[in-house]
Amino acid sequence: MTDASIVPITPAVTNTPTGVRIEGSSTGDRIYRWVTTAFALVVPILLLLIAWAVFVAGWPALHKFGLSFLTSSDWDAVNGRFGAAPAIFGTLASSLIALIIATPLAIGVAVFLSEFAPAWIRQPIAFLVDLLAAIPSVVYGLWGVFFLVPFLTSTIVPFIKDTLHLGDFPLFSGPAYGYSMLAAGLILAIMVLPYISAVTREVLLAVPRSQREAALALGATRWEMIWDAVLPYARSGIIGGIILGLGRALGETMAVTMVIGNRHEISASLFAPGYTMASMIANEFSEATNDLHVSALMAVGAVLFVVTIIVNIIARWLVWRVGKNQV
Amino acid sequence: MKRLPFVVAALGVWGCSPQSSQKQTGDTSKTTPATASGDVGSSVALTGAGATFPAPLYSKWFNEYAAKTGVKINYQSVGSGAGIQQISEQTVDFGASDAPMTDAEMAKAKGGPIMHIPTVVGLVVIAYNLPSVTQPIKLSGSLIADIFLGKITKWNDPRLATLNPGVKLPATDILVVHRSDGSGTTYIFSDYLSAVSPAWKAGPGKGKDLQWPVGMGGKGNEGVAGQIKQTPNAIGYTELAYAQQNKLSTAAVQNSAGQFVTPSARAATAAADDAAAKLPANTDYRVSIVNGGGAATYPITSFTWLLVYKHQPDATKAKKLADAVRWALTDGEKDAEALAYAPLPASLVTKLMPRIDSLTMAGSR
């Protein structure tokens, strides 16, 4: 998590001078310019090459199944029928659950750290929250297997089903596998929290002091100052942070595979096992021997690619719109 | 699409980078007398790739064999599918698989006909987690199929109760656990279910990666074993070793003679012995031995195979390979049981020897 990655999507904190290019005249400057241009080109070219390779490899399956590849729940390697709907649904659903849980928490942490925390506690807490981002995902997965899943089956599920009697409600119906969409969403929530919180914290710290003082001078309470003056000012940056978290959640593979239950089925129940695109590829690729199966997995990769791009476009658009309304 | 095998092969090569360093330092095998062919002391190490299930045994074998003879054999446990892929592309000297190659796969192999050599017998156990039940439960093939088809959903189902008189089965949901990754274990298990249940054969069928009617998936044998251990009322299938390591309860399964047999290496070897006696003389050993005859046989068993080209391109390597396989099938088999594999029956080893000889002759022609 570096601050550099925040800057481009948070106009509120950008302070790069624009429109000024200093033309160098010496040879060194020219070489320097060409070298950096080459570096800058390598990344988009690499991206295009990866996209091209994935699409070419996935084409036979996409061509054969057409639109039903996106809508069918049939994933039958024995008879060569492939439809990725459960995995697409699972990827979006688990990420959504993660954001619903992580966003309020992360913003709460960030507000506390930037507005309330005394200096001596701010650094340690910020450090610990950031540290969450440094834990390898397989460790999250292990924690999920040995703590979260047993906790869900032994405590949370009986509470919802037996104490609250919500067992017939579709969201909580069916046999209680601890390995479930809910477990995946919870793990992802913890994993994306540091991203959202770190970005939000930096953005909040960048809100000018005058903004806060003006609100207080108008007689606002501390709460009103934060809610009405600070958070709206930082809105586009916060959305940027959420999108960064979403990107992380969409692509997460290992931890999700370990707790989601890996089942090709769309279920309304949070307690039912599900699947995500990334975990499906990781699970099946090593033993996929027939060409169509491999191609179907590559096609899933291509779909994941497209979904990620769409999410990013929506994010840019949101940030742009929010930024525009602000002025 | 044509490109993909290269990608896979490239990954395989990249995955085995330690091999190149061993090749450079592997000159110890110069001490073993080279064969008549002029290819003295060139690339001395043999490389193989494939099934993960026998990998612990193979690595023990090849370690021992290197200590004994100085011949280094590198085995990458990359999965049966990748093993078949790599031997077909001739990027390794031998492959290994838990499922026999199909005719279509055989036809794609670049180096000509591939021989299947059984090495050990694997057995798949039905493991379960019922905290309140202390005595081992009994299951029949059709019952296992119906549980995994989702037709039997409660532990106290009358059909389960009839088979297990005196066992107090709870009135809870059966939580089915299966493999989420493609696997030879799934192949053996579904091969068995297809043999005993017409409904299974017509439904999910036989394969390394199935469309499961019910349940949740765990990644790898360790994943399935872990999920069973963590989930009360769960049932699933794993290799014997993983059930033993995790101290899971395993069911006694009814064999074709009507006996309920608890899974053990001995019962699996018995199954192989029974199957070997029935094989025709010209068999290529691409055979299924599930649900075999005999009173003491455990029904969910299978060979795991080494895959080698009948016509070896390199005479030196061919001799080393044949020697190593001969050693593995004789002295090596003694290591099997300690690692929870079932050794091949002696009757079968005797039959396999001429097959390995035919490989050597083809190589030195």
Residue A196 has pLDDT above 80, yes or no: yes
SS3 helix, strand, coil % of chain A, rounded to 5? 75, 0, 25
Instruction: Give residue-wise pLDDT tens across range A134-158.
Output: 999 999 999 999 899 989 988 888 8
Give backbone dihedrals phi and psi of A25, rounded to 5 degrees, phi first.
-115, -25
Instruction: Give residue-wise pLDDT tens across range B341-354.
Output: 899 999 899 989 98
Banded pLDDT at A316 (limits 50, 70, 90): confident
Closest CA to B44 of B317, B270, B311: B317
| 8 Å CB contact of A179 and B227 | yes
> According to the model, what pLDDT value does residue A57 have?
93
Instruction: Report the amino acid identity of residue B134.
Output: T
> According to the model, what pLDDT value does residue A1 have?
41
Structural element, H or E, at residue A76: strand A75-76
Q: Does B215 touch chain A (CB under 8 A)?
A: yes
> According to the model, what pLDDT value does residue B361 have?
55
Q: Which residues of B touch A60 (CB under 8 A)?
A: 1
What is the mean pLDDT of the segment spanning A269-291?
87
Chain A residues touching chain B at CB-CB below 8 Å: 56-57, 59-60, 74-79, 145-146, 149-150, 153, 175-179, 257-258, 261-264, 273, 279, 282-284, 286-289, 291, 293-295
Banded pLDDT at B22 (limits 50, 70, 90): very low
Closest CA to B272 of B165, B349, B181, B172: B349
Residue A63 has pLDDT above 80, yes or no: yes
Percentage of chain B with pLDDT > 70? 86
B205: left (phi over 0), alpha (psi -120 to 50) or beta: left
> According to the model, what pLDDT value does residue B280 have?
85
Distance from CA of A272 to the nearest CA of B (A): 9
| 8 Å CB contact of A150 and B230 | yes
**Degrees to nearest 5, angle at CA A73 with A273 and A180:** 5
Name residue B239's beta-bridge partners.
B124
> According to the model, what pLDDT value does residue B36 have?
38
Residue A209 has pLDDT above 60, yes or no: yes
Closest CA to A205 of A130, A99, A126: A126
> According to the model, what pLDDT value does residue A87 have?
94
Contacts with A, B 116-155, CB within 8 Å: none
Between CA A80 and CA A293 the distance in angstroms is 7
Q: Which token pair is A142? A: 């292990």
Q: How many residues does chain A have?
A: 327
Q: Does B219 touch chain A (CB under 8 A)?
A: yes
Contacts with A, B 81-100, CB within 8 Å: 81-82, 84-85
Query: Which one is predicted more confidently, B28 or B104?
Result: B104
Report the 3 state secondary structure along chain B.
Answer: CCCHHHHHHHHHHHHCCHHHHHHHHHHHHHHCCCCCCCCCCCCCCEEEEECCCCHHHHHHHHHHHHHHHCCCEEEEECCHHHHHHHHHCCCCCEEEECCCCCHHHHHHCCCCCEEEEEEEEEEEEEEECCCCCCCCCEECHHHHHHHHHCCCCECCCHHHHHHCCCCCCCCCECEEEEECCCCHHHHHHHHHHHHHCHHHHHCCCCCCCCCCCCCEEECHHHHHHHHHHHCCCEEEEEEHHHHHHCCCEECEEECCCCCEECCCHHHHHHHHHHHHHHCCCCCCCCCCCCCCCCCCCCCCEEEEEEEEECCCCCHHHHHHHHHHHHHHHHCHHHHCHHHCCEECCHHHHHHHHHHHHHHHHHHCC
Instruction: Write the DSSP string, A279-313.
Output: HHHHHHGGG--SHHHHHHHHHHHHHHHHHHHHHHH
Pick from A57, A177, A295: which is nearest to B216 by CB?
A: A177
Instruction: Give residue-wise pLDDT tens across range B180-191.
Output: 888 888 999 999
Query: Which one is predicted more confidently, A4 or B88?
Result: B88
> According to the model, what pLDDT value does residue A305 have?
92
> According to the model, what pLDDT value does residue B249 have?
94
| 8 Å CB contact of A288 and B215 | no
Instruction: Give residue-wise pLDDT tens across range A264-274.
Output: 989 888 989 99
- Interface A-B, measured as beta-carbon pairs within 8 A, has a size of 108
Q: Does B27 touch chain A (CB under 8 A)?
A: no
Q: Does B292 touch chain A (CB under 8 A)?
A: no
Residue B240 has pLDDT above 80, yes or no: yes
> According to the model, what pLDDT value does residue A5 have?
41
Distance from CA of A79 to the nearest CA of B (A): 9
Cβ-Cβ contacts under 8 Å for A238 (sequence gap 6 or more): A107, A196, A199, A200, A203, A231
Nearest chain B residue to A59 by CA distance is B1
Between CA A172 and CA A180 the distance in angstroms is 11
Instruction: Give residue-wise pLDDT tens across range B188-221.
Output: 999 999 999 999 999 899 988 889 999 999 988 8
- Mean model confidence pLDDT for chain B: 84
What is the mean pLDDT of the segment spanning A64-81?
89
> According to the model, what pLDDT value does residue A18 have?
56
What is the mean pLDDT of the segment spanning A202-217?
91
Nearest chain B residue to A255 by CA distance is B219
B182: left (phi over 0), alpha (psi -120 to 50) or beta: beta
Distance from CA of B32 to the nearest CA of A (A): 36
Q: Which token pair is A80? A: 């060569």
- Mean model confidence pLDDT for chain A: 87
Nearest chain B residue to A147 by CA distance is B230
> According to the model, what pLDDT value does residue A20 have?
57
What is the mean pLDDT of the segment spanning A70-87?
89
| 8 Å CB contact of A258 and B223 | yes
Q: Positive or negative CA dihedral for A35, A37, A43, A47?
A: negative
Residue A27 and residue A18 in contact, taking contact as beta carbons nearer than 8 Å: no
Between CA B100 and CA B213 the distance in angstroms is 25
Helix-then-strand count for chain A, H and E = 15, 2
B32: left (phi over 0), alpha (psi -120 to 50) or beta: beta
Residue A247 and residue A165 in contact, taking contact as beta carbons nearer than 8 Å: no
Between CA A78 and CA B253 the distance in angstroms is 26
Pick from B3, B175, B223: which is nearest to A177 by CB?
A: B175
What is the mean pLDDT of the segment spanning A180-187?
94
Beta-strand pair B301-309/B94-97: antiparallel
Q: Which region among A312-316, B2-6, B175-179 has the lowest average model confidence (pLDDT)?
A: B2-6
Banded pLDDT at B30 (limits 50, 70, 90): very low
Between CA B298 and CA B296 the distance in angstroms is 7
Between CA B63 and CA B59 the distance in angstroms is 6
Q: Which residues of A touch B204 (CB under 8 A)?
A: 78
Residue B263 has pLDDT above 90, yes or no: yes
Instruction: Give residue-wise pLDDT tens across range A127-140.
Output: 999 899 899 999 99
| 8 Å CB contact of A291 and B1 | yes
> According to the model, what pLDDT value does residue A164 have?
83
What is the mean pLDDT of the segment spanning B84-94?
91
Q: Which token pair is A141? A: 């997965």
Q: Which token pair is A29? A: 């400057």
Cβ-Cβ contacts under 8 Å for B313 (sequence gap 6 or more): B90, B111
Pick from A59, A283, A287: which is nearest to B81 by CB?
A: A287
Name residue B252's beta-bridge partners.
B138
Residue A284 and residue A297 in contact, taking contact as beta carbons nearer than 8 Å: yes
Percentage of chain A with pLDDT > 90? 53
Q: Write the DSSP symbol of residue A66.
A: T
Banded pLDDT at A298 (limits 50, 70, 90): very high
Q: Which residues of B touch A283 (CB under 8 A)?
A: 180-182, 217, 219
Q: A81: helix, coil or strand?
A: strand
Between CA B272 and CA B333 the distance in angstroms is 14
Radius of gyration from C-alpha coordinates of chain A: 23
Q: Which residues of B touch A288 (CB under 8 A)?
A: 81, 182, 209
Q: Which residues of A touch B206 (CB under 8 A)?
A: 78
Instruction: Give residue-wise pLDDT tens across range B295-338.
Output: 899 999 999 999 999 888 888 888 889 999 999 999 999 989 88
Pick from A60, A78, A286: which is nearest to B78 by CB?
A: A286
What is the mean pLDDT of the segment spanning A253-262?
92
What is the mean pLDDT of the segment spanning A271-296?
88
Residue A91 has pLDDT above 90, yes or no: yes
| 8 Å CB contact of A153 and B216 | no
Distance from CA of A75 to the nearest CA of B (A): 6
Pick from B79, B212, B215: which is nearest to A286 by CB?
A: B79
Mutate to test the interface with B, among A289, A293, A295, A298 (most CBs of B within 10 A): A289
What is the mean pLDDT of the segment spanning A246-274?
91
Pick from B183, B217, B230: which is nearest to A287 by CB?
A: B183
Distance from CA of A292 to the nearest CA of B (A): 9
Residue B295 and residue B257 in contact, taking contact as beta carbons nearer than 8 Å: yes
Mutate to test the interface with A, among B84, B194, B216 (most CBs of A within 10 A): B216
Q: Where are the alpha helices (DSSP H) in A133-174?
A: 137-143, 149-151, 157-158
> According to the model, what pLDDT value does residue A249 have?
93
Mutate to test the interface with A, among B2, B3, B4, B52 (most CBs of A within 10 A): B4
